[in-house]
Amino acid sequence: HEVDIGQQASEHEDEQEVEDEMEVANDVEDEMEVAEEQTPPPPEKKSRKKNPRTTQGRNPPPVSEPPVTSYDGGPKELSLLPGFGKHVAVAIWRGDCKNRYLRCMNNGKKMNDFDLPRRGLRWFWDVVDATGLRPLLKTNYNHLDWGLLTAFTERWHPETGTFHLPIGEMTITLDDVSCLLHIPITGKMLNHLGTSCTVEEGEDMCYEYLNFSRTECRKEFKKMKGAHIGFFMLDKIYTENMKAVVRAEKKKMPDDKVQHLRECTIRSFLLYLLGATLFTNKSMQYVDVIFLTYLQDLSLVNTWNWGASGLAYMYNYLDAASRPRRGNLGGYNAMFH
C-alpha cells in the first residue's frame, strides 16, 4: 500500500512539470505575438518624380552629325565625288598623312636581265611575234621615280578615273597604251573575276602547259601559299624546257614531242613576261597561274585584249593607292611612269 502511494505521488509530480512547461511555452508565444503586433511596419518608399531638366542634361539625346557638303581645300560640290571623305587628300590636308611615300612595284630589271634565246630561233620568235606581246620587252625601266608616282596617286579619283590636276583632268587612255606599249587594244577582255584557280587545277595546268612536274608544282604552291609560281622557278622552268627542246632535236624525237616541248617553252616565257609587266602584283615575287588559261592555244593569244586588261589592272591599283594607309602601288608602273 505504501508503494502505491509513492508511485501516485511521483506521477503527480511529472504531470505538474509538464503543465508548467506548457504554460511557459504559451507565455513565450504570447510575448512574441505582442512584440510582432507592436513592431511598426516599414515606411513606404516615396515615389520620386524625374526632373526632365536634370535627366536630359545628364543624358542628352543623340544628335546625328550634319552631312558633309564641302571640304577645306577640296571640292565644294560632292555630287561627282561622294567618296572624297575617304580620299588620301583629306588625310594630307588634315595633317594625318605627312610622310607618304609609296613603294612602286617594278620588275623592269628582271625583264632587262632575262636570258633571251638567239634572234635566229624561228620557232620561238615567230610565235612570240604573232602574240603581239614582244614589244613589252622594250618598255621596261630598271628604276622608277617613286615620289613622282606617289604624287600622281594623291590626285587620282576612282569616281572619275582621272587625275585632278591644276590644269584640269587627265588620265591614261587606250590610245596611250597603244602608242607607248604597241600591244593589242582590241579583242576579247580577260575575264576571270570571281573565279579562283584551285591548287589541283593549277597543278594540272602547269603539268600540261608548262611541263612542270606535279610534285615540284605542289612544293612551289605550298611555298607561295596558293596557285602561284615564283619568278625564279618560272625562269628555271623556261630554261629546262629550252634545254629539253635541244636534246629532243638532237635525238630526233617524234615531231609531236618536240612541238609539245617548244610550246611549253614559249608559254613559260610569255607567262613570265606578262607577270613582270602588265600584271605586276604587290608582292613582285610571283605570277598567278590563272593567266595560263589564256595561253593554252598559242595561236589565239593575239585575240585577247591585253592592252585594255593591263590598263584596267593598273586602274584597280590606282583606286587602292588613292586611299590612306597604303604602302605600295602595283600594276605596270613602267607604263604609268
- Cβ atoms within 10 A of the Cβ of 226, count? 15
Q: Give the integer Cα–Cα distance in Å for 113 and 129.
A: 20
For residue 90, is pLDDT > 90? no
| CA dist list (Å): 249 to 60, 257, 261, 275 | 87, 10, 10, 30
At 268, the pLDDT band (50, 70, 90 cuts) reads very high
Q: Give the integer Cα–Cα distance in Å for 186 and 332.
A: 19
At 298, the pLDDT band (50, 70, 90 cuts) reads very high
Residue 180: the pLDDT is 94
- Average pLDDT (126-155) is 93
Average pLDDT along the chain: 84
Highest mean pLDDT among 89-93, 151-155, 191-195, 324-328 belongs to 151-155
Residue 1: the pLDDT is 47
Residue 87: the pLDDT is 82
Cβ burial, residue 262 (10 Å; 0-12/13-18/19+): buried
Residue 337: the pLDDT is 84
Give the residue extent of every domain in the chain: 103-335
